[in-house]
């Protein structure tokens, strides 16, 4: 049974939060949802833009190709967040690929319905503009930071990016709620898998983190923050 935007309890969803009550039934009528397994692509770099995606549940990584073959993670996204907006404008081609990190459910809104909804809802349009601005500023800031950082600092920024995106386990406040693979951590940091393994080992020896299998436990969050920009 299709979930209705007008009765949805995802209060931070852009449609739910900023769309008028008159327009929500229209979005409900045209939207569709699909389940994705870990590793499945929601859309791929180079695909034609056919709509916008809203994450109902799960966690997604947004990646771009680097030097023609190497994958670079440019964003981590979770429930209630948008996907596909980077492809709007110009040739209407997705410049990135979105891949499920865990079992996820994603809602699709056709592009014509999305455009009509934006035009009819000024607050939604304004908030999307602010979202774009914040995302671009964060991306530019991280690029500048990474360009001058040592390996340990890059890995620290990568860990903080994961924390800012997914947070800590609600039942265990020092354990990351989700820890990406070491390969993904390297992709966020813009370094090698081997470097990430070495830096994490050194951080563990210094009692900054604990590696519990794949998962990371943070013992000294302030130290990790000190390796990053003060406002990160």
* CA R_g for the chain: 19
Write the pLDDT tens digit of every residue in 134-148: 888 877 777 777 777
Question: What's the rounded mean pLDDT across residues 149-166?
Answer: 93
Write the CATH number of the domain with boundaries 149-227.
1.10.10.10
Q: Which CATH number fits domain 5-135: 2.60.120.10, 3.40.50.720, 2.60.40.420, 1.10.1040.10?
A: 2.60.120.10
b/e 87-115 (16+ beta carbons within 10 angstroms → b): bbeeeeebebbbbbbeebbbbbbebebbe
Q: Which sequence spans correspond to the domains of the chain?
A: 5-135, 149-227
**pLDDT, greater one: 191 or 218:** 218
Above 70 in pLDDT, residue 232? no
**Predicted structure pTM score:** 0.90
Q: What is the pLDDT of residue 67?
A: 66
Confidence of residue 69 (pLDDT cuts 50, 70, 90): low
Three-class secondary structure of residue 227 per DSSP: helix
Cα separation, 106 vs 130, in Å, equals: 23
CB 45 within 8 A of CB 86: no
Q: Which residues contact 69 (CB under 8 A, 6 or more apart)?
A: none
H helix intervals, 108-167: 111-120, 122-147, 151-166
Structure tokens at 35: 């389940």
Question: What's the rounded mean pLDDT across residues 48-52?
Answer: 93
Give me the phi and psi of 191, to 5 degrees please.
Answer: -135, -170
Nearest to 175 by CA among 206, 219, 135, 132: 219
Out of 2-11, 36-45, 71-80, 182-191, which region has the weakest mean confidence (pLDDT)? 2-11
Above 70 in pLDDT, residue 188? yes
In this structure, which long-range contacts are made by residues 118-122, counting pairs with CB atoms below 8 Å and at least 24 apart in sequence?
Answer: 120/20, 120/23, 121/18, 121/19, 121/20, 121/23
User: Length of the chain, please?
Assistant: 232
């Amino acid at each position: 049974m299709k979930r209705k935007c007008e009765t949805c309890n995802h209060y931070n969803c852009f449609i739910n939060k900023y769309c008028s009550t008159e327009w929500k039934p229209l979005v409900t009528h045209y939207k569709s949802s699909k389940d994705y397994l870990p590793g499945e692509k929601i859309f791929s770099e180079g695909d034609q833009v056919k709509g916008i995606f809203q994450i109902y549940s799960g966690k997604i990584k947004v990646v771009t190709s680097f030097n023609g073959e190497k994958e670079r993670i440019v964003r981590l996204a979770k429930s209630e967040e948008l996907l596909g907006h980077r492809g709007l404008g110009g040739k209407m081609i997705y410049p990135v690929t979105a891949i499920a990190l865990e079992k996820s459910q994603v809602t699709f809104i056709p592009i014509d319905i999305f455009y009509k909804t934006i035009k009819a809802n000024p607050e939604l349009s304004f908030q999307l503009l602010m979202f774009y601005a914040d995302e671009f500023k964060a991306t530019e800031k991280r690029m500048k930071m990474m360009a001058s950082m040592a390996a340990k600092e890059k890995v620290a920024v990568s860990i903080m990016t994961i924390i800012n995106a997914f947070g800590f386990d609600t039942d265990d406040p020092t354990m990351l709620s989700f820890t990406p693979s070491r390969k993904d951590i390297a992709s966020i940091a813009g370094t090698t898998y081997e470097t990430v393994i070495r830096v994490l080992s050194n951080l563990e020896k210094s009692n900054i983190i604990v590696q519990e299998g794949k998962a990371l436990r943070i013992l000294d969050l302030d130290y990790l923050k000190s390796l990053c920009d003060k406002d990160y």
